[in-house]
Chain A
Amino acid sequence: MFSSYRLYARGLDTIRPMDTFDTSHIRNFSIVAHIDHGKSTISDRILELTNTVEERDMESQLLDTMDIERERGITIKSNAVRVMYTADDGETYQFNLIDTPGHVDFTYEVSRSLAACEGAVLVVDATQGVEAQTVSNANLAMNADLDIVPAINKIDLPSAHPEEVKIEIEDELAIPADDAVCVSGKTGEGIHDLLEAIVFLISPPAGDADAPLKALILDSYFDEYRGVVATVRVIDGRIRKGDQLVMMQKGHGFLVDGVGVKRPAETLVDELAVGEVGFVVTGLKDPEAVHVGDTLTYRDRPCAEPLPGYREAKPMVYTGIFPIDNKDYENLRDALEKLRVNDPSLIWTPETSVALGFGFRVGFLGLLHMEVVKERLEREFDLDLIATSPSVDYHVFKTDGEMLCVRSPQDLPDVTRIDHIEEPFLKAKVIVPPEYTGAVMQLSIEHRGVMTDMVHLSQKSVEMRFDIPLAELILDFFDQLKSRTKGYASLDYDFADYRTSELVKLDILLSGDEVDALSFIVHKDKAYALARGLCDKLKEIIPRQLFEVPIQGAIGNKIIARSTVKARRKDVLAKCYGGDISRKRKLLEKQKEGKKRMKAIGSVEVPQEAFLAILKVED
């Protein structure tokens, strides 16, 4: 179900993208933007204006094909679509449009996509101006040597101030903004100008059609019937069905089963020529065989050297992922492997929990990434899963001098054998209007942050820098920052270093038994408040049972907080006559189904969300 593309494409006969295009008529570009600045709507308009999609088939967020993307209105996966555009000069150009994610968690997807492009359309919201991700995406694009076309979006809004945004683009990004195109993804205004700008401002691909094949694997997904399907950018040479290819890093070879392009439905073509972007059906059944970032070449006539690979995305957050039903363990492993084909940032190791049985400790780029992966595993592979409290990578120095990397509270050695623990710190950069600096400072203090610098960038924005533990940032920091600054703050961060902190392991006991999957590593000074908050939250989440369930928070043997889920007193439907009997039985069955989604820990039925209760504890 990775390719749930609806059939939007027009008939093969009308497309003619298989006509050989000389590279001067090809434009490969990405659209990059801060989240919510409207790149998906602009992509939709481009598809519409170039008649790639008939108006009647038009629905919003066309390139976001995953259900999660559409529901949340975000882009998670990159997507490459071919569009034909007849420009004002009368020539027809082939555009390969690569949509990219906007959230900070998915930055690495952006850099992958950019490697396939010669240019980028940088979308900036005409009402909000340059934001954190505008800056980081612009930097990524400039580092990749791309031609940048600034586009100022949402000019239909009354609060739009495009002239000021142009100045911001020049001042903050050092990108000339005289040629910036003013557009409205909503009304379609200016989209034609944007297409013309793409033709004239973005360079055509360079490349040698006669050289040995050199193609970059941008992305891949697993298809039940066709095996691994890889999205590629041809740098030199061409790919045709029947070609014998080899992946230069992994070494696997395969016979090309077919090549095609997305318009946005998948359409087979005769060849992917030099400079073009499209997909290759590999027929490979092992998801692990294809590595995103690898270079494809001919088996018999290889290119001299592979393209530089990508910087591997480093996970920041680790959580335990367990199937509710232990029988699903192998299915979960399979699902993770299949998901990794198109999300190479995923890493995992097996983990065993007394409470939850066998599962995996999975590394994520951030909490949004975690949520998305968990949701995709549940939906696309029909699994019921429990995710446990997120943890970072702690360095634990033992009294015997050994250093352990601990990503799960369960792996923490006994306190008597710990000399000290170091935790990762970040250098965080927050840009806010001056009136919110107090609120941000307060928030930073609450999260053990230390302010290192504060600079007035302009009358309207202040840049605050502080060092903050990663563990604090991964919980609710970002949401809190947004809510306390009414959404004005932007956040960017980089790894700083490891620092010694006084950390303790907080255990949770249900009915007197420690539940390892609920343990959490926390700073000593915050342990009491967190224990209390967690006990109260769990009391809300755990439904009343037949017996009273005491919930306790403990550090070592010391109980520091407690709450109680009272025993359920009444659960009966008293009226049950002739016609009611079938209905009552169905109700009992429904109750039982509900219980199946819970995990029995000892005699206590615990709902999935209890294991992430830590994310819901309010300060």
Chain B
Amino acid sequence: MPIEALYIHIPFCHAKCSYCDFDSRACNGISLERAASVYLDRLCNRLDSFGAAGAFAHVATVYIGGGTPTVLGSRLPWLVKRVREWCDPVEFTVEANPESFDAPLAGELACSGVTRVSIGVQSFVDDELRAIGRLHDTPSARAAIEAALSSGLDTSCDLMCGLPGQTLASWNHSLDVAIACAPGHVSVYPLTIEEGTPLARRAEADPTLDPDEDFQAECMELAGDRLLHAGFERYEVASYAKPGKICRHNCAYWTGASYLGIGRSAASMVAADELRMFANLFGMSESDGGAARIRLVQKDDEATRFELECLGAREAMAEDLMLAMRMTAGAPVTLLEQARDVIGKVRVDEAIARALHQGLAAIDSVTGALQPTERGWLLGNELYGLMWDLASS
């Protein structure tokens, strides 16, 4: 399987949100300029090396995420063009935050070859935005969506439930505004308190900040109802799209496709035989013998240190099943058959039977695919756990 997806990480933000544990540093003004130019130089070197090695020949989707890529300003369209020198993706997404995304930048990005923007809105209630340390407010979020749409970009809007101070009514309001802004794609994430974040420290002192699971369940259900009603389809546990607007790049992550990640903290996943082409770029002489799938995470700016994870055939299979359970399409019959071959029929059928018995998944009567149920969406970890268990004999 050739590499279909390319991810590029921009580890800068204007300010770090209180819930965020992604790799990003808060930078502004001249210090951002300096850091960004050094970082981008290295990034482009990597890009060119991989390009020269032929790694991008089949790339269909590109995603520049962060951090907040839009803090790069006009350097961002430049970077997009640099990427497009090596490949011609059908989908090219850039992550954006409202405070650093306006109509001129939207226009420039569209011109440079970006097709899609994913905007970190999170909420349309100002108090909730402040509570999690977001820099933008509701009007700028509306303006950002408006700017993206007017530039002809496919637009996605992220929303979060379980925020401090959020109520079912305020959540409903955020959904109202999101639907009214008419993006083609909405992602709905329940807030999780990650260790080591400022929010985690605050929640330790004030347990009411800990998101209530029942509340989040209600929010997720409400979002499902409202978005479906507004013409969206749920194609993944957290992702809703109008027809033709699903994110192909993200689907690559959930269907076992190979992807390359460039930049600090970016993850690559490749089949063992593919790695041979450019193993030297990961500082490896040769790929690991027994592994079917290799995941590499870049640990530094210079791309000299990588975290390596090798999965055997059985583990890779279990991972595919686990990820398939995130998607509406589920695990198609072909995948289930493959799993029976690799893992063993008894184990796989046992896991399927349990998922069915617990009401977490159902068999599609037409295609025979194993698909998550409504309950399977909300209790995803149970369902994913069942599948990942198959990795161990």
Which residues in A have some Cβ–Cβ distance to B below 8 Å? 546, 566, 568-579, 581-582, 584-585, 587-589, 591-592
Contact = CB atoms under 8 A, between A and B. Distances in A.
A584 B383 CA distance: 13
B323 interface: yes
Given A546-B358, A579-B261, A592-B385, A574 B238 contact: yes
A-B interface, 4 closest residue pairs, ranked by CB to CB distance from nearest: A572-B380, A570-B217, A574-B238, A569-B217
Contacts of B259: 578
Interface string B214-252: 101100100000000000000001100000000000100
Given A579-B261, A581-B323, A572 B309 contact: no
Contacts of B384: 584, 588
Contacts of A575: 189, 238
Contacts of B217: 569-570
A218 B385 CA distance: 53
A74 B355 CA distance: 50
A571 B378 contact: yes
Contacts of B101: none
Interface string B309-327: 1000000000100110010
A579 B267 contact: yes
B7 interface: yes
A569 to B, nearest CB: 4
Contact of A588 (B65, B237, B253, B385): B385
B370 interface: no
B309 A571 contact: no
B377 interface: yes
Interface in B355-393: 358, 377-382, 384-385, 388-389
B378 A572 contact: yes
A588 B388 contact: yes
Contacts of B309: 582
A572 B385 contact: no
B266 interface: yes
A546 B378 contact: no
A546 B188 CA distance: 23
Contact of A546 (B192, B265, B382): B382
B388 A569 contact: no
Contacts of B261: 578-579
Contact of B380 (A566, A571, A585): A571
Contacts of A572: 190, 237, 377-381
A276 to B, nearest CB: 56
A567 to B, nearest CB: 9
A581 B319 contact: yes
Interface residues of B, number: 41
Nearest to B375: A546
Given A577-B250, A578-B261, A570 B378 contact: yes
B269 interface: yes
B295 interface: yes
Contacts of A591: 381, 385
Given A582-B295, A592-B385, A569 B213 contact: yes
Given A582-B295, A582-B309, A588-B384, A570 B253 contact: no
A430 to B, nearest CB: 39
A578 B319 CA distance: 12
B297 interface: yes
B385 A570 contact: no
A572 B250 CA distance: 18
A546 B379 contact: yes
| Most-contacted residue by chain A among B190, B250, B380 (CB, 10 A) | B380
A82 to B, nearest CB: 49
Nearest to A547: B358
B294 to A, nearest CB: 12
B319 A570 contact: no
Contact of A585 (B297, B322, B326, B382): B322
A477 B342 CA distance: 59
A566 B217 CA distance: 14
Nearest to B381: A571
Nearest to B191: A574
A594 B220 CA distance: 26
A589 B390 CA distance: 12
Contacts of B188: 574
Given A575-B238, A578-B253, A570 B190 contact: yes
A546 B381 CA distance: 11
Contacts of A582: 267, 295, 297, 309
A546 B358 CA distance: 8
A579 B384 CA distance: 17
Contacts of B269: 578, 581
B334 to A, nearest CB: 21
A108 B188 CA distance: 64
Nearest to B315: A585
Contacts of B385: 588, 591-592
Interface string B1-39: 000000100000000000000000000000000000000
B277 to A, nearest CB: 19
Given A577-B250, A578-B267, A588-B322, 10 more contacts: A569-B217, A570-B216, A571-B379, A572-B237, A572-B377, A572-B381, A574-B237, A574-B238, A576-B254, A581-B323
A574 B190 contact: yes
Interface in B262-292: 265-269
12 contacts: A566-B214, A568-B379, A570-B190, A572-B378, A574-B238, A574-B380, A575-B189, A577-B65, A578-B253, A578-B267, A582-B267, A585-B322
Contact of A573 (B7, B65, B192, B388): B192
Contacts of A569: 213-214, 217, 378-379
Contacts of B326: 576
A311 B169 CA distance: 72
Nearest to B387: A588
Contacts of B295: 581-582
Contacts of B379: 546, 568-572
B17 to A, nearest CB: 13
A587 B213 CA distance: 17
Nearest to B22: A579
A502 B295 CA distance: 67
A395 to B, nearest CB: 48
A579 B382 contact: no
B321 to A, nearest CB: 12
B360 to A, nearest CB: 8
A570 B213 contact: yes
B192 A579 contact: no
A570 B222 CA distance: 13
B104 to A, nearest CB: 29
A585 B319 contact: yes
A415 to B, nearest CB: 38
A576 B253 contact: yes
Contacts of B253: 576-578, 581
Contacts of B265: 579
A584 B194 CA distance: 12
Nearest to B295: A582
B237 A579 contact: no
A89 to B, nearest CB: 61
Nearest to B297: A579
B317 to A, nearest CB: 13
Contacts of A578: 7, 253, 259, 261, 266-269
B381 A588 contact: yes
B250 to A, nearest CB: 6
Given A578-B269, A581-B253, A581-B319, A571 B382 contact: yes
Contacts of B7: 578
A569 B380 CA distance: 10
A213 B18 CA distance: 75
B190 A592 contact: no
